[in-house]
A and B are shown apart, each in its own frame.
Chain A
């Protein structure tokens, strides 16, 4: 019998009953204010309780302002939603990292930094970027509100088993090319539905060399390839990251955990249902030109001509994208002028991301007419960055330094890009209207975003940063 993949091992260890679908046990459910109120209302309507509040963690991230928090939430609807989460957590005894908690932040940033995300766990959240947690070798995926309610009530979820897909990333990332460029390159290669009905395992020398924060960036954007989840086998990098985090195992439990975690890798003779290869050494910094994350090219490239797409749907999509983005085919990416910069999100709002952006921004000034904000992924990231002086580098250069939240990634809070605005964004989605109606989003790495803030257009950060 062939060996098992990491995904199969984690899946099998969570099956309570059934085959297609299987009832899977959930080790951790993360909850936020936007996709949970109707789930809690459903529970109340049926007189049901939360089975395991001790395996549930809530925070407030999507709708929170990133400035002047002491003034409270001024958006009436957002306030109602946030107050509902507070009341629901109080009723059911769920731990909530509220706005006054130093651990508040984006749900996919705080669980890993608290040590709650661990190898071999099954983690769900009413948010598609739950794939982030797969960076630790957890099986983690986004779910809808009906499923949120189901998990609250039963601590389980019905799922049909997806296929397994390997993305083998060999070689070494060149200098100036980031994990964001790696995943944008992979998505561009396999397409926004290329991972559909599969769980991706990222493998290979380039993946093993990534830090945990870089791995989270890669797994975060797995959903942008349509995959159910993304995973990376836990290794010494993972264990070193977890050691001594607040919710990580302690003492004898740490030894037991380590013993279990080291078995969580794909057997040498395991067979994947599909395999793709990416050569990391050939990657360059990427910039998206269109309205989905696969509509992306290298910074040394140009806005494509729609007729170069052979598939008629992709061609139509490119035509509409160029119209929305107000771009002409053949325009060099370095000629595109931006007026907004957003550095943050669950893709790129961690300490290493802010360090990369600060290295570029240090001693420089944001171009006149460019509005640039830095939104740490959590209040802990914010505190760590301030301890290193990154906030002063940003503010001296003319960036705004904000409080933690999802912010301009999806513009549910006041950080909306105005109609016609063009934003270099470290977030994960460049959909039409994502950052505000009529706003145009270009996905880039933190270093690329910082460099564009200073020049006012996209530049090749490989020529920018001193080696």
Chain B
């Protein structure tokens, strides 16, 4: 994971509630075994007409949005399926952060785990960002270390779990950190009740 520090760029706004991960990346694109290359399928069914042609009215196809770095979304963004492909697609398209009044729990974890900065703000502040983002040239500055957002007249601080912040700033390999807790994990394992099942024992077909 690449470290995340400061993000500066233009925005793309999607003022809808409950955008589910099936819309972010439809199921037909989940059959690949690779981890990259999902950006071109982002919001595929909304970005394309039934005949397969580009839907030029959909904001992601507006040429002046092609360099957007921050996605401004509605409440409960990323709800539904656990598919990390949704976060991969958003990042692969070019976004470095997602800001919404609320992010679905699994999506929020997935985003943080790949270095796509997830930010939850008050609905009123997100509404201001929606207004600012109607200008495709408007710029937003996000500073993770200082936990600040600056865009137009708006300057505010945002909350983030300190541990998530540290991981993002350091681009830390979480598995490596956890393996450092090997003794504590082994100690827990030794206390594990004998009645709990193992998948390699019992259960004849």
Contacts and interface: CB of A to CB of B under 8 A. Distances in A.
Partners in one complex: yes
Q: Closest 6 interchain pairs by CB?
A: A144-B84, A144-B110, A246-B203, A77-B31, A257-B195, A142-B82
B175 A46 contact: yes
Interface string A121-151: 1000011101000000000011111110110
A396 to B, nearest CB: 31
B76 A246 contact: no
A84 B32 CA distance: 11
Interface of B: 15-18, 20, 22-23, 26-28, 30-35, 45, 50, 74-76, 79-85, 87, 102, 104-106, 109-110, 113-114, 161, 163, 173-175, 178-179, 181, 184-185, 188-189, 192-205
Interface of A: 16-17, 20-21, 23, 25, 27-28, 34-35, 37-38, 41-42, 46, 48, 53-57, 62-63, 75, 77-78, 80-81, 84, 93-95, 101-103, 114-116, 118, 121, 126-128, 130, 141-147, 149-150, 153-156, 158, 160, 162, 192-193, 196-197, 223, 226, 228, 246-250, 253-254, 256-257, 260, 292, 313-314, 316-317, 320, 410-412, 419, 429, 431-434, 437-438
A144 B201 contact: no
Given A114-B203, A128-B80, A431-B80, A55 B32 contact: no
A317 B105 contact: no
Nearest to B104: A226
B110 A314 contact: no
Given A38-B33, A128-B81, A253-B195, A156 B110 contact: no
A327 to B, nearest CB: 18
B119 to A, nearest CB: 15
Contacts of A260: 193, 195
Contacts of B178: 23, 150, 153-154, 156, 158
19 contacts: A20-B161, A21-B161, A23-B185, A41-B33, A63-B31, A103-B203, A114-B203, A118-B197, A144-B84, A192-B79, A193-B18, A257-B193, A292-B20, A314-B17, A317-B16, A433-B23, A434-B22, A437-B26, A437-B50
Contacts of A316: 16-17
Contacts of A249: 195, 197
A48 B18 contact: no
Given A81-B31, A193-B75, A226-B104, A95 B199 contact: yes
A433 B26 contact: yes
Nearest to A412: B27
B195 A256 contact: yes
B101 to A, nearest CB: 10
A253 B197 CA distance: 10
A143 B82 contact: yes
B30 to A, nearest CB: 5
B199 A20 contact: no
Given A17-B181, A38-B35, A412-B31, A55 B82 contact: no
Contacts of B87: 144
A160 B174 contact: no
Contacts, number: 221
Contacts of B104: 193, 196, 226
Given A23-B181, A53-B200, A84-B33, A196 B76 contact: yes
A419 B45 CA distance: 12
A253 B198 CA distance: 13
B76 to A, nearest CB: 4
B200 A27 contact: no
Nearest to B32: A77
Nearest to A314: B17
A318 B45 CA distance: 18
A86 B159 CA distance: 43
Contacts of A433: 22-23, 26-27, 45
Given A27-B196, A156-B178, A162-B105, A431 B22 contact: yes
